[in-house]
Amino acid sequence: MKLPVVIHQARLGATEFRVIRPARPLHHAALIDHDRYVGAYVDQDAARGIAGLWMLAARSPRSLIHLPLRAHHPESPDAVGLRLDLVLLHHSLQFAPSRWKEVRGRLGPGRPQTVSLPEAEHADPAVIDYEACHYRENRDLFHQHLHAETLFMTGSARVFRDTARLFLEVAREGPGHTLAHPGYSHFCTSLHANAGILGNAREIHIEYSTQWSSRATAPSRARLDYPFMGR
């Protein structure tokens, strides 16, 4: 898989941050805060792109992977709520989300680059030991924070690598399901609490969506800065 990205650098004092963004906008992808869970709405191309960025997060522990998604709006009756950007990062980076607005404001035009990733669509599905995921010492968990209209997904390389396949599943199965079920075309999967991969984090419902609006709407008002307590 060839993934075009843009690499940015931002310096705050003595610290330099590396931020990676997709080179092509993910026009048909949106992330919406539904309070008890987060909804991710994607078409086929966006699902593949996010899967690639998810895998990139697994192999880039010193980078922030930023997906600008707030401007996009799916035509779904369920897609109501605060629209969010997304940042993926390795837990070892220990980045404070409260610094994000300042980092984001200092990003320059960046440097285009193409990243080579495994051809995950043709690989065997990752084998996840769900029983081991529930062990108390398990550290392969996602944690979330919400700040400045951005959801921060913090996790280990393994949990990013293992869960990228969920977006690939939507990209692979969503179009065919829609054609086969014209009366009920809903196709989805999720990062589910029962899978033992969510620590201090809400579930993410990933839905295949083909209808998108180009109208600009103001984001709804909601809490913008809090860590998630266990839900």
82's tokens: 């605060």
pLDDT value at position 215? 53
Sign of the C-alpha dihedral, residues 126, 132, 133, 139? negative
Largest CA distance in the chain: 57
CA dihedral 146, 152, 158, 163 (to 10 degrees): 80
pLDDT value at position 32? 95
Q: Structural domain tally of the chain?
A: 1
Sign of the C-alpha dihedral, residues 175, 176, 178, 184? negative
Query: pLDDT at residue 135 above 80?
Result: no
pLDDT value at position 187? 87
Query: pLDDT at residue 210 above 90?
Result: no
Contact 168, 53 (CB under 8 A): no
Contact 167, 54 (CB under 8 A): yes
Q: In angstroms, rounded to a whole number, what is the distance separating the alpha carbons of residues 35 and 15?
A: 34
Give residue 201's domain range.
Answer: 2-227
Query: pLDDT at residue 140 above 80?
Result: yes
Prediction pTM value? 0.84
Give mean pLDDT, residues 177-206.
86
Split at pLDDT 50, 70, 90, the class of 213 is low
Q: In angstroms, rounded to a whole number, what is the distance separating the alpha carbons of residues 133 and 75?
A: 36
79's tokens: 């897609």
Q: In angstroms, rounded to a whole number, what is the distance separating the alpha carbons of residues 151 and 153?
A: 6
pLDDT value at position 177? 80
Query: pLDDT at residue 226 above 70?
Result: no
Closest Cα to residue 12, out of 119, 115, 103? 103
Split at pLDDT 50, 70, 90, the class of 207 is very high
Render pLDDT for 8-53 as a digit per residue (tens, 0 to 9). Answer: 999 988 899 999 999 999 989 999 999 999 999 999 999 999 999 9
Other beta carbons within 10 Å of 65: 24
Render pLDDT for 49-65 as a digit per residue (tens, 0 to 9). Answer: 999 999 999 999 999 99
Residue 124 vs residues 12, 50, 59, 99: alpha-carbon distances, Å: 42, 19, 19, 39
Query: pLDDT at residue 85 above 90?
Result: yes
Split at pLDDT 50, 70, 90, the class of 67 is very high
Q: In angstroms, rounded to a whole number, what is the distance separating the alpha carbons of residues 149 and 225?
A: 8
Query: pLDDT at residue 209 above 50?
Result: yes
Give mean pLDDT, residues 115-144.
60
Percent of the chain whose pLDDT exceeds 70? 82
Residue 30 vs residues 10, 51, 213: alpha-carbon distances, Å: 26, 14, 11
pLDDT value at position 214? 60
Which range of 61-70, 119-128, 167-176 scores highest in mean pLDDT? It is: 61-70
